[in-house]
A and B are shown apart, each in its own frame.
Chain A
Amino acid sequence: MQDYNFNEYFDRFPLAMAYVPWQHLTQIYEDLDKAFCTGTIFPELTKPFTGRRCVK
């Protein structure tokens, strides 16, 4: 069974590949109405638009 280890040995990862860190089931919004409005049940994946970048 695959164990998605929290310790990822990035210095051993082969070059020329794209990686994202594994998500672990650490946090889920308790308030599911809030999760629905946010667009995800995972607080770690909540990255709202702040209006920055590409704006002069």
Chain B
Amino acid sequence: MWNYEKRLQYPVKITQPNAKLAQVIISQFGGPDGELAASMRYLSQRYTMPFNVAGLLTDIGTEELAHMEMISAIVYQLTKDLSMDEIESYGFDKYYVDHTLALWPQSAGGVPFNSCFFQSKGDAITDLTEDMAAEQKARSTYDNILRLIHDQEICDPIRFLRAREIVHFQRFGEANREDCSELV
């Protein structure tokens, strides 16, 4: 089961609202390669894994929930003081009409979060290979965000999140190694 600590894993302190950037970053909340998808993927796969791999999937899946919280905090801080003029002029009106300024998991393109974004196949090699791909997809998405956004307040937590994807890739790769499975 889960405990909650009342702090973000890494600080998010954004002083300037920006609806345009929020619409891009929301993809790492509810998009296909986002943190919610990552978390649900790993937490779903773990049940049919050997126990040592299940431990890793539980730990990383839990950390991804903390990352989802950071992304949500970024989107929340980018949108919380928007004027109606800003909402309309940045094309945020389509999201606003259905959700006001609430957080709702969807991709930047408007696709709602759904389980088709991930697979839980029940084969350890297949699932770990999927997980390695997932970490690279997330890393690529953060690369794209860093190409689009240059605001230091936003880039700082984004760079942290990107670095975590690289570490997780290494861990899933190690879990996939035959010798790791020999520890069972």
**Interface residues, chain A, CB within 8 Å of chain B?**
2, 4, 14, 17-20, 22-23, 36-40, 42, 45-49, 51, 53-55
Contacts and interface: CB of A to CB of B under 8 A. Distances in A.
B182 A42 contact: no
Interface of B: 10, 125, 129, 132, 142-144, 146-147, 156, 159-164, 166-167, 169-170, 173-174, 176-180, 182-183
Given A18-B173, A47-B166, A55-B147, A39 B132 contact: no
Given A18-B132, A49-B162, A42 B167 contact: yes
A19 B177 contact: yes
Contacts, number: 64
Contacts of B132: 18
Contact of B174 (A17, A22, A37, A54): A22
Contact of A49 (B10, B142, B156, B167): B142
A24 to B, nearest CB: 11
B147 A51 contact: yes
Contacts of B179: 2, 4
B162 A39 contact: yes
Contacts of B129: 18
Contacts of A18: 129, 132, 173, 176
Contacts of A38: 163
A38 B162 CA distance: 10
